[in-house]
Amino acid sequence: MPLIRPGGGALGWAAAAAARRHGHLGRFQRFYSARVSDPLRILFCGSDAFSCESLRALDKVRRSEPQLVKSIDVVTRPPKRTGRGLKVIRHAPIETLATDLQLPVHPLDSFRGWELPLVDGEAINLIIAVSFGLFIPSRILKAVKYGGLNLHPSFLPDLRGSAPIQWAIMLDRQHTGVTLQTLDDKAFDRGLILSQTPRPGIPITPDATTADLTAQLAAPSAAMLIAGLRAGLHLPPLSPLSDNAHAPQPSFHARKLTKQDAELRWDELLTGSWSCEDVGRRYRALGPLWGRTASLVAPSAASNGLPQQQQQQKKKRNVPTEPQRVILEKISPLPQGHFSAADEARICEAVKRVASGEPPAPSAPSASYANDEKQSPASQLPPLSLLEIEWEMEAADADNTPRRYKTYWIPETPDKSNGRAVCVLVAVQQNDASGPVVEYTPCRLGVESMKMEGQPSRPASELVRYLGARGPLPLAAAPTN
């Protein structure tokens, strides 16, 4: 049975298949099959902002082309209680949009015992899932005439899984794309690939965040879905895509993210498994990161150089005794040469002295936090203020030597940065014969804002100075969930 060009004339099956495989939907050319689709009664399953763009596009087609899309019902997850005390009810963005579009909404946490709705006495005949999260069981898919379609924001099979956008950023992918596939009745992201962004794909900018890339991919995804429906890609017999790429494709499982993925692994940085750029990408993908810490070392009131009146005021402060975490925000790797050679040498020497248990400079009043007034006039650093955060863990080397990992925070002056503090990392290995051995990495991380867990964000340089002046404060070793 021939395909018909929009301008008239027949198009052979082989030519049509070739057109579909080579840029057919990249340019969104329309090839209409003589096999006529029933008007689509769609069950749309979605959740987030990425899926909202596809629902908007489908609703626009429903209004303008009822012969293609007759109706849309929306399935989404029920509202969730969130925030402190679980007092805030959060609705999924797709539910809010569906309500605005006056579409029927079916909140659903499980398909167990659930039956497909009827639309004016007629059955749903196509399921479309975009960023949904729940697995749609076989009995539901088999009850629908045209089965199911799914939009996935990656070049499948690469980045198959629940977090393809975040992993694309963390893995430093230079390009990404969108895939239109069938819904498999046994596993996520294992369906037949019907359409895919032509290679090399959509560029990922060097400073892209998850929100940026999600917004960048949402419109092309919606356009691919609409073009696929108009092209009849959902109609049997299906014509899977087979040769979109000329180069070998990487394949990485974009597994579900956990809180541990947002851990800033100082040991990985020190051993070279991570670079500063890796930390920057992880922050752009996941947002605020946290560091595994065991104690925060600061001077006592008697040795920090504060006037006696300020020391007495300090004793009256309500210093929490429960373990807390410092959450790091607005993280960026600093390029080599950020500090002058003189400043770099000064930082290195001070950090090594403190890590070895000595004052940053011979005249400094404290071993863990000091104001070194003897900086050269050419130096761009403020008086060197070091806040030390440390923890212990077993080393990964053959002799399993314990190391104490320490981070040092240097607040920059306001005119040099927007409240930024610079983080320096070392590991200290105790050697009975020769004393402490300091392993030092040149990696520099700039952190513009930080917060104590449960407290509002503050400029990092301000919080570093505040913590350094208030005395020891215990920090949680790791989140419990």
Judge if 212 and 91 occupy the same domain: yes
What confidence category does residue 397 fall into, taking pLDDT thresholds of 50, 70 and 90?
low
Average pLDDT over residues 24-42: 62
Report the phi/psi class of residue 59: left, alpha or beta, with left for phi > 0 and alpha for psi in -120 to 50: alpha
d(CA 26, CA 152): 15
Domain of residue 329 covers 259-474
- Decide if pLDDT at 205 tops 90: yes
d(CA 130, CA 151): 5
d(CA 230, CA 232): 5
Q: What does the block give as tokens for 67? A: 């012969």
Judge if 331 and 414 occupy the same domain: yes
Asked whether 124 and 153 are in contact (CB, 8 A), the reply is no
Among 211, 230, 249, residue at a domain's last position:
230
d(CA 273, CA 407): 17
Q: Is residue 218 domain-resident? A: yes
> For the ranges 116-120, 197-201, 303-307, which has the lowest average pLDDT?
303-307
Judge if 264 and 224 occupy the same domain: no
Judge if 163 and 276 occupy the same domain: no
**Tell me, what's the pLDDT at 480?**
34
Judge if 7 and 63 occupy the same domain: yes
Q: Which has more pLDDT, 420 or 481? A: 420
| Cα angle: 183, vertex 119, 71; to 5 degrees | 65
| Cα angle: 334, vertex 335, 337; to 5 degrees | 115
Average pLDDT over residues 38-67: 98
**Tell me, what's the pLDDT at 266?**
79
* pLDDT digits 0-9 by tens, 214-254: 999 999 999 999 999 999 999 999 999 875 544 456 789 99
Asked whether 421 and 447 are in contact (CB, 8 A), the reply is yes
Element (H, E) at 44: strand 40-46
Q: Is residue 237 domain-resident? A: no
- Decide if pLDDT at 10 tops 60: no
CATH number for the domain harbouring residue 99 = 3.40.50.170
Q: Which has more pLDDT, 30 or 182? A: 182
Q: Is residue 37 domain-resident? A: yes
- Decide if pLDDT at 73 tops 70: yes
What confidence category does residue 401 fall into, taking pLDDT thresholds of 50, 70 and 90?
low
How many domains would you assign to the chain? 2
Judge if 205 and 280 occupy the same domain: no
Q: Is residue 244 domain-resident? A: no
* pLDDT digits 0-9 by tens, 168-178: 999 999 999 99
Judge if 351 and 461 occupy the same domain: yes
Average pLDDT over residues 331-358: 78
Bridge partners (DSSP) of residue 10 are: 4
Q: Is residue 248 domain-resident? A: no
Judge if 192 and 275 occupy the same domain: no
Judge if 194 and 337 occupy the same domain: no
**Tell me, what's the pLDDT at 425?**
82
Judge if 309 and 366 occupy the same domain: yes
Judge if 42 and 180 occupy the same domain: yes
* pLDDT digits 0-9 by tens, 459-468: 888 887 776 6
Average pLDDT over residues 67-87: 90
Residues with Cβ < 8 Å from 359, sequence gap 6 or more? Answer: 353, 365, 366, 367, 370
Judge if 320 and 420 occupy the same domain: yes
**Tell me, what's the pLDDT at 165?**
98
- Decide if pLDDT at 309 tops 60: no
- Decide if pLDDT at 13 tops 70: no
Q: Is residue 377 domain-resident? A: yes
Average pLDDT of the residues of the chain = 77
Q: What does the block give as tokens for 382? A: 């403020």
Residues with Cβ < 8 Å from 390, sequence gap 6 or more? Answer: 293, 294, 295, 297, 404, 405, 406, 407
Q: What does the block give as tokens for 447? A: 């952190």
**Tell me, what's the pLDDT at 450?**
85
Q: Is residue 241 domain-resident? A: no
Residue with tokens 């087609």: 61
Q: Is residue 163 domain-resident? A: yes
Average pLDDT over residues 301-306: 34
Average pLDDT over residues 295-299: 46
